[in-house]
Chain A
Amino acid sequence: MAEPILQTTDLVKRFGGLVATDHVSLSLVPGELHAIIGPNGAGKTTLVAQLSGEMAPTAGRVRFDGQDITDLPMPRRARLGLVRSFQITSICPEFSALDNVAMAVQARLGHSFHFWRNARTDPALIMPARRVLEQVDLAARADVPAGLLSHGEQRQLEVAIALATEPKLLLLDEPMAGMGREESQRMVSFLQTLKRRYTILLIEHDMDAVFALADRISVLVYGKVIATGLPDEVRANPEVQHAYLGDEAEEAAAAEAANA
């Protein structure tokens, strides 16, 4: 097995008495698409925050690309190539779609202490930004203020921004969140095209999407990884069925009871 590109060792995050991340040890090999699934409240968001650098773990280490990054803030991690997208769309609403992507290109090209040259006519920023927008099918919407794009388009833009940084590892936090069926399917086929070109850690709720895309799946329940393996192994794992799918069944039953 190749040297892992991302590895967490006994990652723990406590909020008072609550253990949101409970000794999580994950390992991603270059080129794989690894999905993390788990019911609501499993600690997926907290885990993402610790991987991206927004939140410091209580204990444990995170290594990325041969380097310990546990103590690095989010911008430093992003520049090393560990780049995330957000579950709740996070864009600059007044900037055009193109500006949003160009900003990511600008970040990749180094510091932004350039005071004179017009950034909006700088081919070093605009050309790569346009290419990425074409990739995600947003080229026709390049000049629209991002805040006026449809929800689906904003989700595409969210991914485009991450791609424009040319990441070594893409951390996609529920890219299908809030999308309709058709949009979801489009996003799945788009992620399919990214597979192998990028190492991807996909946090996702949509089971169909996860089983269609993932090389390996880790199941997070109450902050703990209860299983990691190939999709079929995970599907067949009785513990997973009980903890995860069972939970959903219980939830569904509860919802029905509430409706009745």
Chain B
Amino acid sequence: MSDTQFDVNKYIRAQFFPQMWCPGCGHGTVMGALLRAIHDLGLENDDVSVVSGIGCSSRISGYLDFNTAHTMHGRALPTATGIKLANPNLKVIVPFGDGDSTAIGGNHFIHACRRNIDITAIVMNNRIYGMTGGQYSPMSGRGVKASTAPYGVPDESFDLVELAKGAGASFVARTTVYHAKEAQNTIKKAIEHKGFSVVEILSMCPTQFGRKNKAGEAPQMMEWYKDNTVPMGSKKLADNPDLIQRGVFVDDNERLEYCTAYQELVIDKVMKKG
């Protein structure tokens, strides 16, 4: 654990700042929470690998002074799986968007959960494809206006927490960019957890989502997360079941992690046999 004062410059490639995200984009807040969590854990930059996919959120890898890969759309998790298996000593973190993780990378997502490989997936969920111009994602939800849903999205969204739970992730949490300190602490727990950890962070896209859905500017969008989320199991849910729950929904340390499983159930077994 780190006792020193948090200095963002230790963890970023400052030459690329200010970053490219729009004013008020929640992804920057997630980046801050991630870096503070890494600082809190006292991790060395050399020991961290950040692997992202494609989209606004996935540009995060270029800004961070770790072993970083900006991969293909949807393919961050399988690339990260290769990195982790090849070097299990690395703390592998995959921050990526809702489209990247649940649409084009949805299959990889559920299988990473099932395998329980020690990777931390941070889904920066702004419910929209920002970079390509505001098309709807599997996380947008019915009725949301998007550039490909001018009359409102007709289909339902995923509940990412339920998806991750169902697929077998051994750590599943949800928080928001409004709750930045909570996000920092949740990411910290997720990185510490040995196994596949999923942290959904409700983020915001004032440019593409906010404008089309009259959600206001960045501060108003953050307010929405304050007003419409509650801690897991809150009594307020009885009156308003539509409130979104935050918290750590799964934290199971009993499940065997994949790299350990491969070592113990395959390599060690074969070696013993001779």
State yes or no: do A and B come from one complex: no
Binding site for B on A (CB under 8 A): none
Q: Footprint of A on B, CB under 8 Å?
A: none
